[in-house]
């Protein structure tokens, strides 16, 4: 089965191309061999392995733990992938960019905590993408991580539009769409979207990440739609990047700390909500893009890039 996690694939794409634009020759280490992912194969240089002992210190100059929920306590490979236990004795630069715990707590065993406390010493620096994680990591690991933006914010709208430059669009552009990107369907969400689509007179464009060219279809859908309703963290991020009117339902099962952090960073108070019934006052939200504080965003973005420059030796 291909990895159809749109957000995870696009953050790999974004970090890869950010590093490539700086003149580095990045490589994505994949534990899946062969890798069944046409999108990543097309755009990234990939080293496919079955076990970490297939890697050697001389293969790389720098190792980066690149974001997403790599420090989630539910993740079975947390020490190997999240803390690079396989490379603990390697004498090269290693750092962590925008790690996420996924939740606002860290329910890991004492064995994992003790191992992580030692492994974290090998990193030149660590950073997290949720501000709530700073105190948690400090309490458990006795280190204070920096706060940075998700890797997908390292690129801008035009960078992502390059993905669809040569892609044949199959969507009728003469119609108006409200984009539905829901990871966990429910009757209350579906009812909300149905009523919202009728109220703003838009056809529902459903993003289903389970078929070929799902990344291209995601980018096109976000680009052409009038409005977006999602329960996805990266669905929210790309709504911001593409400056679209949107409403996000907090997905508690997948971790709400990420949504609260985005809310605080971008002052999205009325756009990130818990699932509820549609009310007509939401029309204004769905018809108008959020007023993002560009100055504040640029400060966070420069801080994130500065973190990378420092640890990349630039």
List the CATH number of the domain containing 188. Answer: 3.40.50
Same domain for 113 and 240, yes or no, is no
Same domain for 189 and 236, yes or no, is yes
Same domain for 141 and 210, yes or no, is no
Residue 268 inside a domain? The answer is: yes
Same domain for 225 and 137, yes or no, is no
Same domain for 140 and 29, yes or no, is yes
Residue 24 inside a domain? The answer is: yes
- Give me 204's structure tokens: 């529902």
172: buried, middle or exposed (CB in 10 Å: 19+, 13-18, 0-12)? exposed
Residue 164 inside a domain? The answer is: no
Classify the phi-psi angles of 46: left when phi > 0, otherwise alpha if psi is within -120 to 50, otherwise beta.
beta
Same domain for 11 and 144, yes or no, is yes
Same domain for 138 and 252, yes or no, is no
Query: pLDDT tens for residues 2-33?
Result: 578 999 999 999 999 999 999 999 999 999 88
Interatomic CA distance for residues 248 and 223, integer angstroms? 17
**Which range marks the domain in which residue 111 is found?**
6-156+300-312
Please state the domain count of the chain: 2
Same domain for 305 and 257, yes or no, is no
Residue 139 inside a domain? The answer is: yes
Residue 163 inside a domain? The answer is: no
Same domain for 106 and 144, yes or no, is yes
Interatomic CA distance for residues 89 and 73, integer angstroms? 24
Intervals of the chain under pLDDT 70 = 1-2
Give me the residues paired with residue 179 across strands: 205, 228
Query: pLDDT tens for residues 125-168?
Result: 999 999 999 999 999 999 999 999 999 999 999 999 999 998 88
pLDDT in the model for residue 34: 84
Same domain for 91 and 132, yes or no, is yes
Same domain for 204 and 305, yes or no, is no
Has this prediction a pTM greater than 0.85?
yes
β 227-230/177-181 pair status: parallel
| Full DSSP string of the chain | -----HHHHHHHHHHHHHHHHTT----EEESSSS---HHHHHHS-EEE-SSGGG--GGG-SEEEEE-SSTT-TT-TTIIIIIH-GGGTT--SEEEEEEE--SSSS----HHHHHHHHHHGGG-SEEEESSTHHHHHHHHHHS--PEE---GGGGS-HHHHHGGGTT----S-TTS-EEEEE-SS--HHHHHHHHHHHHHTT-EEEE---SSTTHHHHHHHHHHH-SEEEE--HHHHHHHHHTT--EEEE--GGG-SHHHHHHHHHHT-TTTEE-S----TTHHHHHHS-----HHHHHHHHHHHHHHHHHHHT-
Interatomic CA distance for residues 147 and 131, integer angstroms? 6
Structure-token match 């990193």, residue found = 123
Angle at 75 between CA 156 and CA 36, to 5 degrees: 60
Residue 123 inside a domain? The answer is: yes
Same domain for 264 and 238, yes or no, is yes
pLDDT in the model for residue 2: 59
Give me the residues paired with residue 180 across strands: 206, 229
pLDDT in the model for residue 29: 95
Residue 249 inside a domain? The answer is: yes
Residue 140 inside a domain? The answer is: yes
**Residues whose CB falls within 8 Å of the CB of residue 264, separated by 6 or more in sequence, listed in order:** 131
């Amino acid at each position: 089965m291909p990895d159809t996690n749109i957000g995870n694939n696009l953050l790999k794409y974004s970090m890869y191309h950010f590093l490539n634009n700086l003149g580095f020759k990045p490589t994505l280490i994949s534990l899946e061999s062969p890798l069944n992912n046409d999108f990543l194969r097309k755009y990234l240089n990939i080293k496919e392995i079955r076990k970490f002992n297939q890697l050697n210190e001389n293969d790389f100059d720098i190792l980066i733990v690149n974001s997403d929920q790599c420090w989630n306590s539910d993740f079975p490979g947390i020490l190997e992938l999240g803390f690079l236990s396989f490379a603990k004795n390697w004498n090269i630069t290693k750092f962590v960019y925008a790690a996420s715990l996924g939740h606002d707590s860290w329910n890991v065993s004492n064995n994992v905590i003790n191992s992580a406390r030692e492994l974290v010493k090998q990193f030149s620096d660590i950073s997290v993408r949720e501000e709530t994680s700073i105190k948690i990591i400090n309490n458990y690991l006795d280190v204070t991580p920096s706060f940075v933006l998700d890797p997908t914010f390292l690129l801008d709208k035009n960078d992502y539009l390059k993905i669809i430059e040569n892609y044949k669009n199959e969507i009728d552009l003469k119609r108006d769409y409200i984009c539905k990107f829901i990871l966990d369907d429910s009757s209350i969400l579906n009812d909300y979207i149905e009523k919202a689509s009728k109220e703003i007179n838009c056809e529902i464009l459903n993003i289903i990440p389970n078929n070929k060219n799902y990344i291209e279809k995601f980018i096109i859908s976000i680009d052409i739609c009038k409005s977006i309703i999602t329960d996805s963290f990266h669905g929210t991020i790309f709504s911001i990047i593409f400056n679209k009117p949107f409403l996000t339902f907090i997905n508690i099962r997948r971790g709400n700390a990420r949504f609260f952090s985005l809310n605080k960073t971008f002052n999205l108070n009325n756009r990130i909500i818990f699932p509820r019934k549609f009310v007509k006052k939401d029309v204004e939200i769905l018809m108008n893009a959020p007023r993002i504080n560009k100055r504040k965003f640029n400060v966070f973005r420069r801080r994130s890039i500065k973190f990378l420059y420092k640890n990349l030796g630039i």
